[in-house]
Structure 1
Amino acid sequence: MTEPTPESPSRPESPSSPVSSSPPVFIPDYPFSEAGDADSILRSSDGVDFHVYRAILSLVSPIFRSMFSLPQQADAPKVPVIDVAEDSDILDKALRFFYPGAQPIVATLDELRCIIEILVSKYDMECVSETAKDHLAKYLARSPLAVYCIAVTHQWEDMAMLAAKESLKLRLRAHDTVAPPELNQIPAAAYHNLLHYHYRCGVAAKSKTQTLRHIPAPNEYVWFSCTDAACAKHTSSWYLADNQLSPVRLWFVEYLGNLGTILMETPGTNIGDDTSLHLGYKKAAKCANCREKVFDQLYDFVSNHLASKVEEAIDEVDFSL
């Protein structure tokens, strides 16, 4: 009879390391990391403590000033803990907007909007407005409509004006314009004011393509001086600065017409860039005489005369919230 073979002892399995799905805990950096002689703690919604001085918070925020002026219970801790609704990441960035020894850190416009909402709207810190505007200005070229909405929300007319002017580069009145979510936060009247300003700037800008009275006379630009019989003249002569009528080539009038249409839709168009100038180059190319001079002369005309007149016309359009 065969004796049973003893079973080999099984090797105990190594316990696997638990994998945590929770995000790493935020650790505040200077100047909120050390307790020192800080006399208050702001505790974020995710349980992170920020050591602060109530004198600083009271100085910048009437909300905190009122809070700290309330009588304390006899058994209250020496260093009071104030629970806030903001998480540690946004609270850290908000505090850095006004706290001595800290530098504001903002990654996105949406983050900036959130910080402004917390500090200005919730805690009534009007003192951070200028810092907030400086940061908003960095997004003017990229997101003028969103900046306009934020400025309107906080009644910052100077920033709203800058954003409105920057929006002139957009096809704001076109049906396919994508509206930013910030539009939901402003009154319809504020958006109507922007659209009306955009329209009036378009009318003003286009008007400068419908007159040549700002051009010195006599003028040697080729669209006035071309003698090629094959280069068609416009049916009407145009007044120049001397108030005398001057014949002008048809291609140039058509170029001004096309430019006016563009400016009506996007008044902030850079009419001195290659794309806009190409409209004139293409039309002038049909005449051998005009073709030789149009590149230098059209650039000179737009840069030294027309662009500044368009800018002046836009600057005369008033804007208000």
Structure 2
Amino acid sequence: MMETESVPGVMALANMMNGGAFHTSFSSPDADVILGAKDHTLFRIHSWTLKTTSGWFRSLFSMPQRSSSPNHPETINLDEDSRTLESLLLMICGLPINPLISYDEVDALLFAAEKYEMPGPISLVRVLIMTPPLLGQPLRLYAAATRCGWEEEAKHASSQSLALNIYAPEYQPILRKLHTGAVLDLLNLHRDRREGIRKRLDEQPFVTGTTMLSCPRCRCKIDHHTWRELKYRVVMEMDVRPLGDTIVDVGLTDWPEAIACWDAKCPNAECTCLLYDKVESLRLIRDCINSLPKTT
């Protein structure tokens, strides 16, 4: 006789669940196994399907089992709710599958597929998470991809995360669920982009600590405060949105710091030459942002 208490994921075996109703897509009397969801929905399915698509069920059915009538198969009660179990069974049976519209569904489905050793559903979920609306949640995508070892999807998600301020409070619960290596990789990507542009703005031909603090035309003393303020704004913007698009598309033209910098002139009334080349500065900053690392 099979000892269900020793098998993970199975709550009990019973001849019939009280108050249970069969799912309309899984109610064939020809099926020889009944699976019960935790919300009491029943699923009739062929044991052959379970054995050929699930390592967990293959092991389960290889154990000695008590005999049951073909017309009254035993019910295997599982931990999953009916929505998750329905999605899982539709996938392994080759039936039209449920659309996945939230990562709560994705996580529950992946957990069940991993528990029951079902590579088919896992591969389908891998495809589905790269489609809308799931594609629009890069941190949840990154969490699922790194947990499952999906490198290509993880890289794509890390690239999409550059449009987010991952330090914002609303993203902390997601980051806490990541394993340490995945969190560090993501934080390093965001930090490296910020530090990359900060380092470039401290190099020639931009104003640096070694730049002569005088007007190139009349040698009047210049303190370059407008450039320092713009540089600080650029670095801070990269910290909250490392993608850098707001800098090159809007910031370097419309920010008050940018306007003040490009309008800055030599204080010598007889000179008043512009101190900074706006067109060349924008080109160099854009090139720098484009050259920064884009994925983990």
| TM-score, normalisation: structure 1 | 0.61
- 1:60 shift after superposition: 2.4
Q: Where do residues 54-73 of structure 1 align in structure 2 (5 Å cutoff)? A: 54-73=47-66
The match for 1:178 is 170
- 1:124 shift after superposition: 1.9
Counterpart amino acid of 2:151? E
Counterpart amino acid of 1:195? L
The match for 1:89 is 83
Out of 139-148 and 107-116, give the one that drifted further.
139-148
The match for 2:237 is 262
- Pair 1:117 & 2:117 matched: no
- 1:100 shift after superposition: 0.4
For residues 53-83 of structure 1, what are the alpha-carbon distances to aligned partners after superposition, in whole Å with 9 as ceiling and x for unaligned?
A: 3333223210011122334433454545322
The match for 1:217 is none
Shift in CA distance, 129/307, structure 1 to aligned 2, threshold 3 Å: farther
The match for 1:28 is 23
The match for 1:282 is 259
1:145·1:167 contact (CA, 8 Å) conserved in 2? Answer: yes
Of the two, which has the highest radius of gyration?
1
CA distance, structure 2, for counterparts of residue 197 and residue 313 of structure 1: 9
CA distance, structure 2, for counterparts of residue 191 and residue 170 of structure 1: 15
Counterpart amino acid of 2:191? Y
**What secondary structure does 1:273 align onto?**
helix
Shift in CA distance, 92/153, structure 1 to aligned 2, threshold 3 Å: same
Out of 126-135 and 203-212, give the one that drifted further.
203-212
Q: Structure 1: where are the runs of 5+ without partners?
A: 1-24, 214-233, 239-248
- 1:205 shift after superposition: 4.1
For residues 241-299 of structure 1, what are the alpha-carbon distances to aligned partners after superposition, in whole Å with 9 as ceiling and x for unaligned?
A: xxxxxxxx996786455323322443223134335642276337747999xxx7xx69x
For residues 82-107 of structure 1, what are the alpha-carbon distances to aligned partners after superposition, in whole Å with 9 as ceiling and x for unaligned?
A: 22122222221233344302223223
The match for 2:161 is 167
- 1:141 shift after superposition: 6.0
More helix by share: 2
Q: Where do residues 290-309 of structure 1 align in structure 2 (5 Å cutoff)? A: 301=282, 306-307=285-286, 309=288
**What secondary structure does 2:43 align onto?**
strand
- Pair 1:146 & 2:140 matched: yes
- 1:200 shift after superposition: 1.8
Where in structure 1 do 4 or more consecutive aligned residues deviate above 6 Å? 249-253, 287-290
Counterpart amino acid of 1:314? P
| TM-score, normalisation: structure 2 | 0.66
- 1:211 shift after superposition: 5.5
CA distance, structure 2, for counterparts of residue 140 and residue 259 of structure 1: 31
The match for 1:74 is 67
Out of 163-172 and 72-81, give the one that drifted further.
72-81
CA distance, structure 1, for counterparts of residue 111 and residue 85 of structure 2: 12
CA distance, structure 2, for counterparts of residue 281 and residue 202 of structure 1: 18
Q: Percent identity?
A: 20
Counterpart amino acid of 1:152? T
**What secondary structure does 2:169 align onto?**
coil
Let me know the Cα RMSD of the aligned residues. 4.0
Q: Structure 2: where are the runs of 5+ without partners?
A: 1-19, 206-211, 217-223, 266-272
CA distance, structure 2, for counterparts of residue 272 and residue 66 of structure 1: 58
1:251·1:283 contact (CA, 8 Å) conserved in 2? Answer: yes
